[in-house]
Amino acid sequence: MILYPLIGNESLFLLIAIPFGIIFSLIYGFVGSRVKSLSKKYPNHQGLFSESLMQIGNIQSPGIAILEETTLRLVPIVGNECIVQLADIQKIHEGKWLSGKYLMGKRTFNLLTPNQKHLAFAVPDSMATKWSEKLQTKG
């Protein structure tokens, strides 16, 4: 190894750190490209649109959330699309936690609907105020 004579045993840490960094960047790049391709499938959406992290039942996945005039559409990269009529939403709870995980920089919306066991999604804080206003007035 090239750095071993200069740094010593500490350079062996790089043998572990560099491959893990490459693996993480490949995974995040793949997920990001899947979310971007989902965004291209809905070019003519009406209403609010955001990349989000969502939980539909027991499946948690990144994807896109679209709030239209009468419906909320959650499209994950894994699993099936979920369409919820805003009139069917019984209760909305806002917070920072999603499935036991604190999400820094995101706001979560937990929805109580008659059909879903657990339906929640998180949007970036920069867009959360708009989402909150629209959901509270329509839900």
Q: How many domains does the chain have?
A: 2
- Whether residue 10 is found in the same domain as residue 57: no
Same domain membership, residue 129 and residue 63: yes
Which pTM value belongs to this model?
Answer: 0.79
17 and 82 housed in the same domain? no
Q: Are residues 9 and 64 in the same domain?
A: no
pLDDT score at 135 = 85
- The answer to whether residues 24 and 63 belong to one domain is no
Domain CATH number, residue 92: 2.30.29.30
- Domain with 22, as residue range(s), is 4-37
Residue 59, token pair as written in the block: 């499946």
**Residue ranges for the chain with pLDDT beneath 50:** none
Task: Please give the C-alpha separations between residue 95 and each of 39, 79, 100, 106, 126, in angstroms, as whole numbers.
Answer: 25, 24, 11, 9, 15
- For 72-99, what is each residue's pLDDT tens digit? 999 999 888 999 998 888 889 999 998 8
Q: Looking at residue 46, what is its pLDDT?
A: 80
**Shared-domain flag, residues 19 and 67:** no
For position 69, what pLDDT does the model report? 86
Distances from the Cα of 60 to the Cαs of 16, 39, 57, 98, 100, in angstroms?
A: 29, 18, 8, 9, 12
